[in-house]
Amino acid sequence: MFTGIITDVGEVIGREGGRFAIRSGYDAEGIALGASIACDGCCLSVVALRPDGHGSVFTVDVSNETLSKTTLDSWQAGRPVNLERALKAGDELGGHIVSGHVDGVAQIVDMRPDGESVRVRLELPRHLAPYVAAKGSVALDGTSLTVNEVAGLRFGINLIPVTLTQTTWGRKKPGDEVNVEIDLFARYVARIMEFRV
């Protein structure tokens, strides 16, 4: 379980098929084999680990299912990646409850400055659009964000300066694709509504 509060921006440094090596600022001594790390919002298990300067390089295996439902199939060496360690008992829940199970991919339609912030409009796949609501939560590339407005398949978010500088969002541009995890509660409410008598 995660919160959508990014704690490091790592870098993909190698790929062989579905196996990725990611450099991070996380201390290798604090990561166990099998630990879960959200990488651009995808909960992945560490299968190998080594110290690297002031941080570490960890390796993850990615299934064909994950490659088909996320942006990970396009990842190559040099790509920056939002990272978040799994919650521990007693940790602050600063964003919203995020499982690390990506539902699909959205595309950035446009980005425009709004004071010190940046407003971003994205387009969802049709099957995910009903789960995104104004003033609700959504995780995009692992980042917990509040939905400003919704119109059909499109919705808007606002990125404050700290999000732009402490995550990969400051490097995004129109046309880029991002991983989407819909709000956990929206998912369960929709499922319950399917079975209303």
pLDDT digit string (tens) for 60-72? 999 999 999 999 9
Residue whose pair of structure tokens reads 């190698």 in the numeric block: 14
Q: Where are the domains of the chain?
A: 8-85, 104-194
Tell me, which fold does domain 104-194 have in CATH? Answer: Elongation Factor Tu (Ef-tu); domain 3 (2.40.30)
Quick one: pLDDT band at residue 89, thresholds 50, 70, 90?
A: confident
Q: pTM for the whole thing? A: 0.93
Q: Is 184 exposed, middle or buried (0-12, 13-18, 19+ CB in 10 A)?
A: middle
Say what the pLDDT of residue 91 is.
79
- Cα within 13 Å of Cα(77), Cβ side: 5
* Mean pLDDT of the 118-143 span: 96
Element counts in the chain: helices (H) and strands (E)? 3, 12
Return the CATH architecture of domain 8-85: Beta Barrel (2.40)
Percent of the chain with pLDDT over 70: 99
Give residues with Cβ within 8 angstroms of 184, minimum separation 6: 97, 98, 99
- Kindly tell me if the per-residue pLDDT of 93 is higher than 80: no
